[in-house]
Amino acid sequence: MHTIAIAGAGTVGAALIQSVLASVPIRLKAVLVRDAGKPRPGLPTGLDYVTDPAAILADPEIDTVVELMGGTGAAFELASGALAAGKHLVTANKNLLAERGPELFALARDKGRSIGFEAAVCAGMPVIRALQEALRADRVSAIEGILNGTTNYILTRMAEDNLDYAAALAQAQRLGFAEPDPANDVSGVDAACKLGILAALAFHRRVEWRAIPAQGIQDLQAEDLRQAARMGYRVKLLARAALDQNGRLDSTVGPALIPVGHPLAAVRDEFNALMVASDGFGRNLFMGKGAGPAPTAASLLADILDIAQGRGWPVGADHPFLAGPAPAGAGAAPCRLYLRLAVPDRPGVLAAVAGRFAEAGVSIASVLQPETAGGGGPVLVPLILTTHAAATEAAARLRETLAEPGRPAPVVLPIVDD
C-alpha cells in the first residue's frame, strides 16, 4: 500500500489525517511534529508521532512526504531531503514554491519524482490540475482572477455592509479570514505569489513573483465601493497575466473595477476564482474556496491519490519552474481609470486638477464632487473622476503628478470593461 508521512499536525494536518484514515487505501506511517507528547484531542489515538525529520527521510517504506510545516526554512530542508531520498512530495506551501520552487523541481526532475501542489494555490478549486492537464495542449493567452480570500472578504463586506476598510478588516480577523498581521494579504503580495505560480503553468515560463507590480487594498474607502456600485461595478483585487502580441508577459495585481455582470463580480466573501482565456477552450472560469482546512485537505488528498495510483506528475526537464523567465511586456493594454483625490474645498482646485490630467495626456470622462457636510476651512473633500482609455504609463504619470505632500495618495484604479 502507498505509504505516506505527514509533516505538521495543525488544522490542515488534522483534517488530512482524518480523511486519509477514514476513506482511502493509503497508509499513514508517521506524523512529524515539534512535540510528540503534546495532547492532540482532535486526532485519533495510535498515530506514530516523530520529531526528527531524519526518521522520515531515512525510512524506505515511506513513498510520499506531505509537507504542511509552512515557512521556507525547515520546510525546505524536509522537502528537498524527501526528494533527494527518492520520495514524492505533496505540499500546501505556496511560499516554499515561490521562493525555492526551482531547486525543488530540479531535484524532482533528477530523481524522477512528482511534486503535487494543488493545495498550495487556491486550495479549494482544482486549477493546478486544470492547467497541467486539461489545458496543457492549449495555448493560453491570459489568466485573471481573484486569488486572495482575505481581501475579497474585506471588499465584499465594505461593498455590501458599507463598512470602512478598518472595520471590515477587523471583522475578517474575528472570523479567521485574516491573520493578526494581515500585511501579506492586503498588500497584494500573497496574490502576486499565487499569480506567479499560475502564470508559470499557464505560459510555460518561470514567473518571478517579485517582478509582478502589486498594489494592495489598504487605501480603498467605502466611498470607492459605493461610487463603483453606482457606476455598475464591483471593486475586486484582480490578479492578471497576459501575453502581448510579441509573446511577452504583462502581470499585475491590484484593485480594479469589474462590471457587475462579469463572472468575477459574482465572487463574494472568501471565495477565489480564476478565469483562463485560451485558443481552444475560449474562456474557462473556476471558482471555489481559496483556503481553509477542509478544502486544503481535499486537494492534498487528491494529489496523494494521484501519486499512489501512478497518476502523478513526474517532473520533466521542460517543467515551467525550470524554464527561463518570461520576457516582460510593456504593460497592460490601455483602459479607463477611476480616480479618487482628496482636494481642498476652495475655488480653482478643479481647474488645477484638470490641468494635471492634460499634462499627463489623459482625457477626463466624468467628474463628481459629492456634497459634503464640511463648513468652510482647509478641509479636504473627495473628488472622483473617470477617464477615457489611458495607457499604463499615463496612469503612472497621473498617480505621480496628482500626489501632493500632506494629502492622502490618489486612488487610481483600472476599469475592466470586457
- Under the criterion CB under 8 A, does residue 36 sit at the interface with a second copy? no
The CA distances from residue 299 to 89, 90, 109, 158, 258, in Å, are 14, 10, 23, 30, 29
Burial of 276 (0-12, 13-18, 19+ CB in 10 A): buried
How far is Cα 235 from Cα 231, in angstroms, rounded to an integer?
Answer: 11
14 in contact with a second copy (CB under 8 A):
no
Q: How far is the CB of 207 from a second copy (least distance, A)?
A: 22
The CA-CA-CA angle for residues 16, 17, 19, to 5°, reads: 65
Based on CB atoms, which residue is closest to a second copy, 114 or 227?
Answer: 114
Residues 6+ apart with CB under 8 A from 408: 219, 342, 380
CB under 8 A: which stretch of 73-81, 132-140, 174-182, 206-214 binds a second copy? 132-140
**Piece of the chain touching a second copy by CB under 8 A; list 19-27, 62-70, 217-225, 243-251:** 19-27
Q: Cβ of residue 357: shortest distance to a second copy, in angstroms?
A: 34
The CB-of-311 to a second copy minimum distance in angstroms stands at: 5
**Which residues in 251-310 contact a second copy (CB under 8 A)?**
261-263, 265-268, 271, 273, 278-289, 292, 294-295, 297-299, 301-302, 305-306, 310
Tell the burial category of 102 from Cβ atoms under 10 Å away from its Cβ (0-12, 13-18, 19+).
middle
Contacts of 230 (CB under 8 A, 6+ apart): none
Sign of CA dihedral 403, 408, 409, 412: negative
Give CA angle at 229 (224, 234), nearest 5°.
80
CB-based burial of residue 2 (10 Å sphere; 0-12 exposed, 13-18 middle, 19+ buried)?
A: middle
User: Total residues contacting a second copy (rule CB under 8 A)?
Assistant: 48
Kindly state whether residue 136 participates in binding a second copy, applying the rule CB under 8 A. yes
| Whether 194 is catalytic | yes
412 is a contact residue toward a second copy (CB under 8 A): no
- As a whole number of angstroms, the distance between CA 304 and CA 300 comes to 6
Instruction: Tell me if 134 contacts a second copy by CB under 8 A.
Output: yes
When asked if residue 19 is in the footprint of a second copy (CB under 8 A), the reply is yes
Q: Does 10 sit near a second copy (CB under 8 A)?
A: no
Query: Which of 1, 38, 60, 137 forms a contact with a second copy (CB under 8 A)?
Result: 137
Q: From the CB of 98, what's the least distance to a second copy, in Å?
A: 22
Q: What is the C-alpha separation between 62 and 88, in angstroms, rounded?
A: 9
Please give the residue ranges that form the binding site for a second copy (CB under 8 A). Answer: 19, 23-24, 118, 124-126, 129-130, 133-138, 261-263, 265-268, 271, 273, 278-289, 292, 294-295, 297-299, 301-302, 305-306, 310-311
Among all residues, which ones are annotated catalytic?
A: 194
